[in-house]
């Protein structure tokens, strides 16, 4: 069943996004996993509660209203932040039973932006969940896997380092997908899982 949520995400420079996407392709060569293209690479900042089933519609009055409130909250938060870029250093990769994550070490601007978004989303009457970190999800496994089922993934992770410093200068409002959507009606969770679709993007 399709699952999704509306959210706000930090976008990374093209070189950083391309590096993460290339590593996503490498992971898929050693363990069955979803590949993330550069356009889907992001760091989640805040989002609405997950919905299941979720089917985004640009014609839905409710969806338009939710996105409009997220846009308004984001615009105000960026003004309060002074449109400062967020610097995050990505040095290593971690794995869970479901995914591979790039560990991020953020600067103060990133932390300030989260606090501001919590405030402005609250002012819009939005029930939101803040991210637990500045990580980037670079791959999601086709199914939950125990460590002994990861094959050549562990040696790959041990021999790899992150792309380094990302000076993020854009924030997008949009939605995340876990399953089919009008844009991708024939896909399943083994091909679209956690992908972010931007609705409106702002410069920092």
pLDDT in tens, 18-71: 999 999 999 999 999 888 999 889 999 999 998 877 878 888 999 999 999 999
Give CA–CA dist 122/104, Å, rounded.
26
* Sign of the alpha-carbon dihedral angle for 202, 185, 191, 98: positive
Looking at residue 141, which CATH number applies to its domain? 3.90.1140.10
Task: Using DSSP bridges, classify how beta strands 170-178 and 193-203 pair: parallel, antiparallel or unpaired.
Answer: antiparallel
Q: With 50 as the cut, is the pLDDT of residue 190 above it? A: no
Q: Are 37 and 21 in contact (CB under 8 A)?
A: yes
The pTM of the full predicted model, rounded to 2 decimals, is 0.90
Query: For the residues of 55-66, what is the DSSP string, one character each?
Result: ---TT-HHHHHH
If pLDDT is split at 50, 70 and 90, which confidence band does 179 have? low
Give CA–CA dist 59/5, Å, rounded.
17
Based on the structure, what is the number of domains in the chain? Answer: 1
Considering only residues 181 and 77, tell me which one the structure prediction assigns the higher pLDDT: 77
Tell me which residue range forms the domain holding 110. Answer: 3-203
């Amino acid at each position: 069943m399709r699952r999704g949520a509306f959210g706000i995400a930090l976008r990374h420079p093209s070189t950083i996004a391309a590096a993460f996407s290339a590593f996503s392709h490498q992971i898929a060569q050693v363990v069955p996993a979803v590949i993330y293209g550069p356009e889907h690479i992001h760091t989640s900042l805040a989002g609405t509660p997950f919905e299941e089933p979720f089917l985004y519609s640009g014609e839905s009055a409710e969806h338009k209203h939710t996105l409009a409130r997220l846009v308004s909250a984001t615009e105000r938060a960026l003004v309060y932040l002074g449109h400062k870029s967020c610097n995050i250093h990505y040095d290593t990769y971690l794995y869970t039973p479901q995914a591979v994550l790039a560990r991020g070490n953020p600067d103060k601007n990133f932390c300030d932006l989260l606090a501001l978004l919590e405030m402005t989303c609250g002012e819009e009457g939005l029930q939101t969940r803040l991210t637990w970190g500045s990580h980037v999800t670079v791959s999601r496994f086709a199914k939950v896997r125990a460590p002994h089922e990861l094959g050549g993934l562990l040696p790959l992770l041990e021999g790899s380092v992150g792309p380094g410093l990302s000076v993020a200068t854009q924030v997008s409002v949009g939605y995340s997908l876990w399953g089919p959507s009008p844009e991708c009606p024939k896909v399943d969770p083994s091909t679209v899982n956690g992908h972010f679709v931007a609705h409106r993007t702002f410069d920092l």
